[in-house]
Amino acid sequence: MEFLVASAVGVLTAVGVYLCLRGRTFPVVLGLSFLSYAVNVFLFATGRLVVGRPPIIDPAAPGYTDPLPQALVLTAIVISFGMTALVVVLALRAFLEAGSDHVDGREPGAEGRR
Amino acid sequence: MSHWIIAPVVVPALVAAFIVLVARFDLHLQRTVSIAATIGLLAIAVGLFLLAEDGIPRPYLLGNWPAPFGIVLVLDRLSALMLLLAQILAVAVVLYAAAGWDRQGRHFHALFQFQLMGLNGAFLTGDVFNLFVFFEVLLIASYGLFLHGAGAARLVTGFKYVTVNLVASTLFLFAVGTIYAVTGTLNMADLAVKAGQVGPDQLGLLRTGVALLFVVFAVKAALVPLHLWLPGTYGVACAPVAALFAIMTKVGAYAILRVHHMVFGGEAAPAAGLAEPWLVPAAVLTLILGTLGLLAARSVQRLAAFSVIASMGTLLLVLAVPGPDAHAAALYYLLHSTLAAAALFLLADLLAERRGSVRDELVAAPAFPQLDLLAGGFLLAAIATTGLPPLSGFLGKVWILDVLRAHPVWPWLWAAILATSLLAVLAFARAGSLLFWKSTAVGATAEADPPPRARPALPLVATAVLVAAPVLLAASAGPIARNLEATAAQLHDRAAYVEAVLGPQRLARAGEE
């Protein structure tokens, strides 16, 4: 399971970094989403990988799983959800105002119209 | 436990909500409430500053949960100092904005108050995860403020600014997760204890987390090569927002001081010597690139943006030197450079407003009203920024040169600082002569194009407050220096901080382990 989780985080991060470096705004937005997925899975793993245990100390259960990373992940999800919405709207407005969805606001090779 | 400690976070949050919900369509009410709240916050910050003067760190336990389990805010000399600086800047900015900038878009005052909430929280928090949360609060507010007034240039630059900061936030979470996985805590005082007890098998992981955290703070502090977001952002933001952003880079410097020098600092610390070898060359490069930017700048606002980068280079150079002496000098320069840069941004806008179609570009243009007044202000701000005597820039740089002698390659660092200061003087002298002397030489006043409107006095007053700051900092340098030395000494007294937050018995137990 360690291998599965670790490679999932690694692949998500690699995809996210690659997409963030693209020249159009839409892949960049997707890249940011992938990065936030990667960090959410990573944060879950920081409380150690435990399966089928309650997040509180229960004498009947054989052990417990660390509840704090789950709280951290919730905070991170809320923030990244809101930020994704903001960045989508921002990309759309920039496209409508500048007439190009390139991150520089103009097509590569075109003369600047700023 | 003084409940005033949480007021700098709660008051702006409530005021912002009030402005959005109640005063939505009433700009006058928004201005009144926002200005009153900011002045009230300044009074609270002064009170907290005086409270922290006794040198005892004061934890504030939210919900009265004991320290490493609940959320804590901690008021010590450093956080009180940063609070005071932020509120002084905020009062000047809100007065400036209330003269008309806040009409350019909606919700300026609400976003402004949320920004203050984030800044104050970041300075007060005693918990690394809450540092992340308050960073997010101040960043989200800053996205809104940055886009204030809209326009294609701001939207395109805004997308990059948001993207860079979102990637940095992701890295922050990775760093926080790694540190939590190793130590099992995120409370700063608890981390300071636990980081020393990490076994050799986990040390590499902890150092990775601490290094990642440093990269995040370096992005905020615009350290080369992570500075690329800054000139565009500060160059196109509207003036009061750019002036407020002058403190945003300093939040990065504050976080480096707090986390790297206090929590993970000290000789035996696991993270010792992690960033310093990289920090010195990167800071020198920041200084040089910022100064070259000054020479290449074609408008006053760009000039101010690059002066922020150059001053961050100087500041981070001192942060690479360990020890309280160096950090007292760094704090003095931090106070000075924040207020001087903000003054320059506001002056750029005053100039742009008066010079008609050329705005604040560095070209000769016909003379404009109130030229002498603005020329005087620009002269003072330029003297302060470049570090000429007798203002605080000079005192700050001399103090920095003095503490840098402790560094092995100090002759090179001296050469870098002195040479870039000379180039900065050149850049500002050229800008000043173009703006003011050559303008009068062109002759005929530009009375023709804009009809002379009644000019509100409020922006001039707000700018004057910021321009006067370097004068005051220089005039009262003695008492301020003594205070900053005490602040830096307290920052390095890790045991007192841990004891104040976690209680004495816990420290003793940590010693036994």
Give the residue from chain B lying closest to A100, CA to CA. B156
| Residue entry with tokens 């928090």 | B125
Contacts of residue B448, Cβ cutoff 8 Å, sequence gap at least 6: none
Interface probe for A, chosen from B166, B179, B213 (most Cβ of A below 10 Å), is B166
Which of A79, A87, A106 best tests the B interface by mutation, with the highest count of B CBs <10 A?
A: A79
A2 touches chain B (CB under 8 A): no
Q: What is the DSSP string of B363-420?
A: S-----TTHHHHHHHHHHHHHHHHT-TTSHHHHHHHHHHHHHTTSTTHHHHHHHHHHH
Shortest distance, CA A111 to any CA of chain B (angstroms): 15
What is the DSSP track for chain A?
A: -HHHHHHHHHHHHHHHHHHHTSSBHHHHHHHHHHHHHHHHHHHHHTT----S--SS--TTSS----SHHHHHHHHHHHHHHHHHHHHHHHHHHHHHHHS--BTTSS-TTSPP--
Instruction: Say whether A82 and B166 touch across the interface (CB within 8 A).
Output: no
* Residue B28 CB neighbours (<10 A): 9
- Give the integer Cα–Cα distance in Å for B58 and B67: 12
List chain B residues with CB under 8 Å of A10. Answer: none
Integer Cα distance of B423 and B293 in angstroms: 10
Chain B residues with CB under 8 Å of A68 CB are: 180
Phi and psi, residue B59, nearest 5°: -80, 150
Distance from CA of B231 to the nearest CA of A (A): 15
Binned at pLDDT 50, 70 and 90, residue B311 comes out as: very high
CA distance A9 to chain B (A): 11
CB contact under 8 A, B155 and A72: no
Q: How far is B180 from chain A (nearest CA, A)?
A: 7
Which tokens go with B250? 């300093």
d(CA B454, nearest CA chain A) in Å? 32
ipTM of the complex: 0.93
A43: nearest CA partner in chain B = B177
Per DSSP, B187 falls in state B
What pLDDT does B1 receive? 62
Provide the pLDDT for residue B32: 94
Percent of chain B at pLDDT > 70 equals 93
Q: What would the two tokens of residue B17 be?
A: 């909500």
Q: What residues 82-111 of chain A have any CB closer than 8 A to a CB of chain B?
A: 82-83, 86-87, 90-91, 93-94, 97-98, 103-105
B173: confidence class by pLDDT, cuts 50, 70, 90 = very high
- Residue B450, classed as helix, strand or coil, is coil
Q: How far apart are CA A87 and CA A84, in angstroms?
A: 5
Contact B177 A46 (CB under 8 A): yes
Place of tokens 């990573």: A42
Query: Does position A114 have pLDDT exceeding 70, yes or no?
Result: no
Q: Look at the block and give the residue holding tokens 């986390």.
A: B259
Choose among B182, B165, B247, B191: nearest CA to B74: B191
| Contact with chain B for residue A43, Cβ under 8 A | yes
DSSP state at residue B130: H
> Quick check: A114 and B180 CB within 8 A?
no
Q: What is the DSSP letter of A102?
A: B
Confidence of residue B441 (pLDDT cuts 50, 70, 90): low
Is there a contact between B469 and B340 (Cβ–Cβ < 8 Å)?
Answer: yes
Res B378 pLDDT > 50 = yes
Task: Tally A–B CB contacts below 8 A.
Answer: 92
Is the CB of residue B69 less than 8 Å from the CB of residue B129? no
Say which residue, B494 or B452, is predicted with more confidence.
B494
By the CB < 8 Å criterion, does B22 face chain A? no
DSSP state of B52: G
**DSSP code per residue over B198-250:** --HHHHHHHHHHHHHHHHHHHHHTT-TTS-THHHHHHHHS-HHHHHHHTTHHH
Rounded Cα distance, B13 and B112, in Å: 10
Contact flag B176-A103 (C-beta cutoff 8 Å): no
Chain A partners of B180 at a C-beta cutoff of 8 Å?
46-47, 68-69, 72
For the cut 90, the answer to whether the pLDDT of residue B505 exceeds it is no
pTM attached to this predicted model: 0.93
Q: Mark yes or no for CB contact B155/A98 under 8 Å.
A: yes
How large is the C-alpha radius of gyration of chain A? 20
CA distance linking residue B453 with residue A51, whole number of Å: 71
Q: Is the CB of residue B306 less than 8 Å from the CB of residue B373?
A: no
Query: Which neighbouring-strand residues pair with B75?
Result: B58
Which residues neighbour B433 within 8 Å (Cβ) at sequence distance 6 or greater? none
Residue pLDDT, tens place only, B39-63: 999 999 999 999 999 989 999 999 8
d(Cα B399, Cα B477) in Å, to the nearest integer?
A: 11
Name every residue whose Cβ is closer than 8 Å to that of residue B405 and which is 6 or more positions away in sequence.
Answer: none
C-beta contacts of B21-28 below 8 A and 24+ residues apart: B27/B102, B27/B103
Point out the residue among B155, B158, B173 whose CB comes nearest to the CB of A76: B173
Give SS3 for B425.
helix
Pick the residue of B156, B169, B182 with the most A CBs within 10 A to test the interface with A by mutation: B156
| B407-433 residue pLDDT tens | 889 999 999 999 999 999 999 999 999
**Secondary structure letter of residue B73 according to DSSP:** E
Nearest to B246 by CA among B196, B309, B291: B309
A28 interfacial to chain B (CB closer than 8 Å)? yes
Residue B83 tokens, joined:
């609070």
Please say whether the beta carbons of B89 and B339 come within 8 A. yes
Measured between beta carbons, which residues in chain B are less than 8 angstroms from residue A18? none
Q: Is the peptide bond before B390 cis (omega within 30 degrees of 0)?
A: yes
Give the pLDDT of residue B102.
86
Beta carbons of A94 and B178 less than 8 Å apart: no
Cβ within 8 Å, pair A68-B158: no
B176 to chain A: which residues are within 8 Å by CB? 72
Residues of B within 8 A of A35 (CB-CB) are 166-167, 170
Confidence bin at A113 (pLDDT 50/70/90): very low
Average pLDDT, chain A: 88
Is residue B271 scored above 70 in pLDDT? no
User: Which residue on chain A is closest to B157 by alpha carbon?
Assistant: A104
- Chain A contact for B166, CB < 8 A? yes
User: Distance (Å) from the C-alpha of residue A55 to the closest C-alpha of chain B?
Assistant: 15
Helix axes B458-475, B392-404, angle to 10 degrees: 40
Smallest Cβ–Cβ distance between B180 and the set A46, A87, A97 belongs to: A46
Q: Which amino acid is at B314?
A: T
DSSP assignment of A35-64 = HHHHHHHHHHHTT----S--SS--TTSS--
- Residue B181, C-beta contacts closer than 8 angstroms, at least 6 positions apart: A45, A46, A47, A48, B205
Q: Does A23 touch chain B (CB under 8 A)?
A: no
Query: Confidence band (pLDDT; 50, 70, 90) for B513?
Result: very low
Beta carbons of B156 and A105 less than 8 Å apart: yes
Which residues in chain A are contacts of B178 at CB distance < 8 A? Answer: 46
Reading the block at residue A5, the tokens are 């989780």
Residue for token digits 């995040």? B216
Instruction: Please report, rounded to a whole number, the percentage of residues in chain B having pLDDT higher than 90.
Output: 65
CA A59 to chain centre: 36
- Average pLDDT, integer, range B450-458: 65
Residues of B in contact with A48 (CB under 8 A): 181
Quick count: other Cβ atoms within 10 Å of Cβ A7?
Answer: 10
* Residues 6+ positions from B383 with CB-CB distance below 8 Å: B391, B393, B470
